[in-house]
Each structure stands twice: as structure tokens, then as C-alpha cells.
């Protein structure tokens, strides 16, 4: 196949995984600077990637069901793509390009149906005994772009912050009573994956109170729309803590600007963690049920806290026992990790 004129990149579902796809986008852009590079994904992801120069156009996919799959395929025909680079492993990601007749459809072949929908398949990573093995997600996606002949252009994740979003954030912070020079701790208390990823609310509250006293950090909780009750509960237990956009209306563009404004991020193993890394902001991560190998990249600005329990990582959305991997992570470990990241400059 010749050089492509138009490339479709199917983005992952999750915010964090999409951030970890940015080195692959950079590799594609560098290898094919004159091709039109279109990224496709959930509508909310447009604000996340806004400002990057590694793609030309965002194509929102909010189609559902069989009729939606057909409408999506028709959207991909006008005008037609030469390549479809499918970063997620799902069958759904591959159906649209297959129905649209994209000549080259490349991605991992997870199962028989997925293999039938793509015509340039990579085998799933396996160890010497043939068992599937975990890879850092950044590396996993870069293997796809290498497969299509694109040399790496570094493995650091990247995001851009819109100046208008910075202004909106400053206005909102002022409305909440935050001074322009006040140091911020941005807290991401939720996780779309499921409750097994959640650090207890009382632990978050204690950590916010401790970091306010020790570091002079004003805690601003940044919940997703479904997490507002949780955020309000934490703020209620931590005097001085604030809830950002309690109605859940904040966009990912605004979240980027808020994270960029902060001195430290405290997060479960979820999207804002990766936003912080991409923007060069130190982050303390509470991790329990998920495999740390999947996110083992750019560790310098991160402190990933885990409890050594026999059942972790289980990858389950709901803990079937006592959630020990998260409940045993104590707030004092967050304080110590923050000290490591921020150095010796204590409040007072």
C-alpha cells in the first residue's frame, strides 16, 4: 500500500488511555506530515486533545446500536480514509472502518471476530510461555505505529491548555474565593472504572486537611458529573476544601487548565492523573485493583502508592471482599509522598 492521504485514528474510551495515546499520534504526524490525520472518539475527548498539533480534525462518535454503527460507517466514507489505526482492542472500534471499506485497518487481534474486521493484525503481547503479558499503555500504542512504519518521536505524553480555558478557571477560582497566588491541591476523588478504584472519602478528607496545614495547599476537588456527591462529602469533612463545578459541568479543557494551575494533584488511578503527567504537574496516585505495569511510564513526577496485598491487582470493578488494597493506604503516606515531590518548603 502507498503512502496514505487520509488516516483515521480510533481513540481509546478512557481519558487516561487517550492521554497515553499522544506519543503514537506524534509518531504518525511526524511520519506523514502531509496526510490528513483525523482522530475519532467520544465527544468529550475533543476538549482533552484540543490544542495539539498532531492531528487535523476530531470526529465525534456518539452512535449507538446497529443503526448507529451503520451511520458511523457512512460518516467514515465521506471522504474515504486510506488507513484506520485502531488503538483500542474492541470489536466496536473496528466495525465502522470495516463497513466503510477502509483499505488498511490495523490493530491488535484480540479474538476471532476482531481479526475478521481488521486486515493488518498485530498479535497481543505474550511472554515466552505464551501467556498474555502487560505492557505500559504508551508502549502498547507505539507498537502499532511502529508496525505501520512510523518511528517513535519520544514516549512522553503531551497535552495543551487553551488560554481561554485558563481565563475561565481563574474566574471560577476567584468566585470560589481562591486568591490569584494561592497554592492549589487538585483532588480527583472518583474513577469511571468502578468503586474498586476509589480511595475512602475519609482518607481523602484527612489528606486534604494535612496538606493544607503542612504545605499551605488549598484543596479543590474536581469531580466528574457522577462524583459530585462524593466530592461534597470529602469537602464537608475537610475545612477549607472547595468543590470545583459541583454541577459537573466543567469540561476537560477546563480540567486541564485547573490542573496546570495547581501545585500538586491527588488522584485515584484515573484520567486526571495522566492529565497532570502530561502537563508536568506532580501527582500522588492511589492505586489498588489495577496493574501498575499498564501505566509504568514517566514516573519522575509521580508517586504511585500501593498496598502489598495478595489479591492485587485483581482488575475487578467491584471488590468482592474488604477492599483492603485501598482502605489500608493511609493518609500519612500521601503526606510523605507530597514531601518527596514538593521538596522541603513547608507552610508556616
Task: Please answer whether residues 118 and 147 qualify as being in contact, where contact means their C-beta atoms are separated by less than 8 angstroms.
Answer: no
In this predicted structure, what is the pLDDT of residue 203?
A: 97
Q: Which residues contact 343 (CB under 8 A, 6 or more apart)?
A: none
Q: What is the pTM of this model?
A: 0.94
> How far apart are the C-alpha atoms of 305 and 303, rounded to whole Å?
6
Nearest to 144 by CA among 294, 53, 1, 11: 11
Beta bridge partners of 268: 286
pLDDT in tens, 72-126: 888 898 889 999 999 999 999 999 999 999 999 999 998 899 999 999 999 888 8
Q: Tell me if residue 347 falls in helix, strand or coil.
A: coil
> How far apart are the C-alpha atoms of 86 and 77, rounded to whole Å?
17
Please determine whether the domains at 6-147 and 163-342 fall in the same fold group of CATH: yes
pLDDT in tens, 163-205: 999 999 999 999 999 998 899 999 999 888 888 999 999 999 9
Average the pLDDT over 135-164 and give the result.
97
Assess whether pLDDT exceeds 50 at residue 213.
yes
pLDDT in tens, 291-331: 988 998 888 899 999 999 999 999 899 999 999 999 999 99
CATH numeric code, 163-342: 3.40.50.2000
Nearest to 267 by CA among 277, 280, 254: 277
Instruction: Render the burial of 76-112: b for 16+ CB within 10 Å, e for the rest.
Output: beeeebbbbbbbbbeebbbbbbbbbebebbbbbbbee
Q: Any idea which of 13-17, 59-63, 147-151 has the lowest mean pLDDT?
A: 59-63
Strands ordered across the beta sheet of 242-243: 242-243, 218-221, 184-188, 264-268, 283-286, 302-305
Q: Which residues contact 67 (CB under 8 A, 6 or more apart)?
A: none
Q: Tell me if residue 232 falls in helix, strand or coil.
A: helix
Q: How far is CA 162 from the centre of its chain?
A: 18
Q: What is the grid cell recorded at 82?
A: 486510506
Q: Tell me if residue 66 falls in helix, strand or coil.
A: helix
User: Where does the pLDDT of residue 348 fall: very low under 50, low under 70, confident under 90, or very high at 90 and above?
Assistant: very low
Task: Give residue limits of the domains in the chain.
Answer: 6-147, 163-342
Q: Please say whether the structural domain 6-147 has been given the CATH code 3.40.50.2000.
A: yes
Amino acid at each position: 500500500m502507498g503512502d496514505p492521504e487520509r488516516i483515521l485514528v480510533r481513540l481509546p474510551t478512557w481519558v487516561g488511555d487517550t492521554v497515553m495515546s499522544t506519543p503514537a499520534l506524534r509518531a504518525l504526524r511526524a511520519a506523514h506530515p502531509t496526510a490528513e490525520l483525523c482522530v475519532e472518539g467520544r465527544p468529550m475527548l475533543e476538549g482533552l486533545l484540543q490544542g495539539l498539533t498532531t492531528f487535523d480534525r476530531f470526529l465525534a462518535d456518539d452512535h449507538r446500536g446497529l443503526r448507529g454503527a451503520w451511520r458511523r460507517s457512512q460518516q467514515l466514507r465521506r471522504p474515504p480514509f486510506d488507513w484506520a489505526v485502531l488503538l483500542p482492542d474492541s470489536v466496536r472500534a473496528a466495525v465502522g472502518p470495516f463497513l466503510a471499506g477502509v483499505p488498511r485497518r490495523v490493530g491488535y487481534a484480540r479474538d476471532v471476530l476482531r481479526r475478521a474486521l481488521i486486515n493488518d493484525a498485530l498479535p497481543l503481547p505474550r511472554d515466552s510461555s505464551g501467556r498474555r503479558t502487560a505492557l505500559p499503555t504508551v508502549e502498547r500504542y507505539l507498537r502499532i505505529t511502529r508496525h505501520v512504519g512510523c518511528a517513535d518521536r519520544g514516549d512522553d505524553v503531551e497535552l495543551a491548555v487553551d488560554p481561554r480555558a485558563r481565563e475561565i478557571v481563574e474566574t471560577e477560582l476567584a468566585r470560589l474565593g481562591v486568591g490569584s497566588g494561592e497554592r492549589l491541591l487538585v483532588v480527583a476523588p472518583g474513577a469511571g472504572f468502578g468503586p474498586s478504584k476509589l480511595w475512602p472519602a475519609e482518607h481523602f478528607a484527612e489528606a486534604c486537611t494535612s496538606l493544607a496545614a503542612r504545605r499551605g495547599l488549598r484543596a479543590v476537588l474536581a469531580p466528574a458529573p457522577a462524583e459530585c456527591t462524593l466530592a461534597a462529602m470529602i469537602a464537608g469533612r475537610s475545612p477549607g476544601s472547595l468543590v470545583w463545578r459541583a454541577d459537573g459541568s466543567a469540561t476537560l479543557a477546563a480540567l486541564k487548565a485547573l490542573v496546570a494551575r495547581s501545585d500538586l494533584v491527588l488522584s485515584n488511578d484515573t484520567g486526571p492523573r495522566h492529565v497532570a503527567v502530561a502537563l508536568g504537574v506532580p501527582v500522588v496516585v492511589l492505586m489498588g485493583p489495577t496493574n501498575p505495569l499498564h501505566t509504568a511510564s514517566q514516573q519522575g513526577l509521580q508517586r504511585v502508592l500501593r498496598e502489598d496485598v495478595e489479591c492485587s491487582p485483581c482488575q475487578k470493578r467491584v471488590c468482592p471482599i474488604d477492599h483492603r488494597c485501598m482502605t489500608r493506604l493511609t493518609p500519612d503516606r500521601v503526606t510523605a509522598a507530597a514531601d518527596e515531590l514538593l521538596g522541603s518548603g513547608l507552610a508556616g
